[in-house]
Amino acid sequence: MAIDQTKIGQVVAEQMEAIEGHYGDDCEIGDICTIVEVVGPHGSHVRVRTSDPRPHIVAGLLRVAEAMLFAGMAPAEGADEDGEEGA
């Protein structure tokens, strides 16, 4: 039985719509890195594929993505531990 590719296609399509909506037609796609968790009877494995296999490109993309992810998850400045604004 083949792996269902629907989920990955949906995520990539949503990403492209977001990119086009934010940047318009004056930009192009640079390097790409996909990270996919594969779950099955073997357990859970993570697969990574990049458009440029040079380690400094891969590490750079991953580090920037991680920094952006955690910056978006941080509570607002002046917020308490529950994310509520202080009085």
Residue 74 pLDDT > 80: no
Please give the pLDDT value at position 22: 92
With a pLDDT cut of 90, the percent of the chain lying above it is 75
Residue 83 pLDDT > 80: no
- What pTM did the predictor assign? 0.71
Please give the pLDDT value at position 8: 94
pLDDT in tens, 31-68: 999 999 999 999 999 999 999 999 999 999 999 999 99
Sequence-separated contacts (24+) of 73-80 with Cβ below 8 Å: none
Please give the pLDDT value at position 76: 60
Supply 75's token pair: 């509570």
- CA–CA separation, 10 vs 32, rounded Å? 16
pLDDT band (50, 70, 90) for residue 2: confident
Give the start-to-end residue ranges of the domains of the chain.
30-73
